[in-house]
Every structure is written in C-alpha cells, then in structure tokens.
A and B are shown apart, each in its own frame.
Chain A
Amino acid sequence: DTEVTQTPKHLVMGMTNKKSLKCEQHMGHRAMYWYKQKAKKPPELMFVYSYEKLSINESVPSRFSPECPNSSLLNLHLHALQPEDSALYLCASSQVPGPTYLNTEAFFGQGTRLTVV
C-alpha cells in the first residue's frame, strides 16, 4: 500500500468557520508534510513532522494549526482563514532521512482543494 489518503477532496468554508483537513498513510513512514499549492505555482512547504513531532514550521500563520496524533495520521486545523488561503493543500509522507533509509521518496496524497469565501 503506497497510498496517502486525504479527506475531504474539496472544502468550501467561510472566513469564520473552523474545519480540519485529514491525511492518513499506512506505509510506516515517520515523516509527514503539509504543502500549499496555488494555481500554476509550485508546492510550498508548510510543516514537517518527524516521529510525530513538529520539526519544521515555515512561518505559517497561526490560523493554520497542524497536529500529528499518531504515526499514521496528520491533521491540519483551519480557523479564520482568508480568501487568499484558497489553494490545493497536499499531504505527503516519507521515511525519515538518515543512515537507515537512503531512499526517502515522498508519496503525495491527492490533495484537498480549499475555497475560502
């Protein structure tokens, strides 16, 4: 199973709403990532979790709050978003790079297309 599953696939939310994006993998990967991708742009790294601990936060606004409840799950909690936050949100997972794992190929989920109205 080389799948990363993201739910929901599409989400429309108002600026006062609270919602969550979910990501799940069962490949035993201990690194999980959130990316944001605007139309016709490359993905931008938001957060990295390594062994369920937040290891990289790319100065993302606090209205985005990540959570890694266990080694298979990654959530992104959304609150008081702005219309400019509308984008494709991609989750990915990989082995944690190190002496044990040289091949750290990242597998991406299908993404959640978020529209903030």
Chain B
Amino acid sequence: ELKVEQNPLFLSMQEGKNYTIYCNYSTTSDRLYWYRQDPGKSLESLFVLLSNGAVKQEGRLMASLDTKARLSTLHITAAVHDLSATYFCAVVLPAGKSTFGDGTTLTVKP
C-alpha cells in the first residue's frame, strides 16, 4: 500500500522568509504532483514531476524530485501573503492509482 507523508502539516512563516515542505512516499512511483488549495476552493495544479532529479520552478515556488530517496520537496523563497494556502503532494502509481499527502497548511504573516 502506498503511503505518502508530508511535513510539516502546519507552517507559519514571516513574509520574506524561505522554507521547504517535504513529501516522502513508500513505493516506486510514476509521477508526483504538487497542488495548491485555497479554503473552500478546488485544487490548482502547480507542478508535475516525472523523473529523478526533476526540478521545476514557478515564481517563488520550486519543486524537486529524488526518486531514489522517494522524496519530493517544495521550496518557498521569500514568502508573500498570497502564498497562504494548503499544499498537497500526490503520488501516482504505474497502475494509475493516486494517493495524496495530508497537506501542509501554510500561513504567511506580514
């Protein structure tokens, strides 16, 4: 059974600071996704990571994948208030089943 662990589950940051969210998973995976969800809203796709060593960046967010360590990271650079949301990683098995991490609720304070 695929297990996906995210940490931390809650993160309170000051604006301008950097931080990293971690996503560990238990079995070999095809793909790893990062999503953002605002309260009461749907999920917005941030990154799709397909191969070992993949790194993708969009604005203040950068995601990476280490398939050997079964670890993905989402790095936040110089946080701003607009980044406050819940961030999920999701791991997809070759058969197509997906499992989400429990999510990291990020609050960026002035």
| A residues with CB within 8 A of B | 31, 41-45, 48, 50, 55-56, 58, 90, 92, 97, 102-111
Q: Which residues of A contact B42 (CB under 8 A)?
A: 90, 108-111
Q: Which residues of B sit under 8 angstroms from A45, Cβ to Cβ? A: 97-99
Confirm or deny: B41 has a beta carbon within 8 angstroms of a beta carbon on chain A.
yes
Question: Please, which residue of chain A has its CB at the minimum distance from the CB of B45?
Answer: A105
Residues of B within 8 A of A97 (CB): 30-31, 92, 96
Known: A42-B102, A42-B103, A97-B31. A55 touches B43 (CB 8 A): no
Residues of chain A contacted by B96 (CB below 8 angstroms): 31, 48, 50, 55-56, 97
Query: CB-defined interface of B47-59 with A at 8 Å, one 1/0 digit per residue?
Result: 0101000000000
Is the contact region of chain A dominated by helix, strand, or loop, or is it mixed? Answer: loop
**Residues on the B chain within 8 Å of A108, using CB:** 35, 42-45
CB of B100 closer than 8 Å to a CB of A: yes
Contact present for A90 and B43 (CB under 8 Å): yes
**Does B25 make an interface contact (CB < 8 A)?**
no
| Given A42-B103, A43-B100, A48-B96, A110 and B48 contact (CB-CB distance below 8 Å) | no
Across chains A and B, which 3 residue pairs bring their CB atoms closest together, nearest first? A42-B100, A108-B43, A108-B42
Q: Tell me, rounded to whole Å, the shortest Cβ–Cβ distance linking A69 to chain B.
A: 21
Instruction: Give the residues in chain A near B95, CB-CB below 8 Å.
Output: 56
Given contacts A45-B97, A55-B96, A56-B97, contact A106 B33 (CB under 8 A): yes
A45 to B4: give the CA distance in the assembly, Å.
14
Task: Give the docked Cα–Cα distance between A103 and B33 (Å).
Answer: 11
A22–chain B nearest beta-carbon distance, Å = 15
Q: Point out the residues of chain A lying under 8 angstroms from B101, CB to CB.
A: 42
Instruction: List chain A residues, Cβ under 8 A from B41.
Output: 110
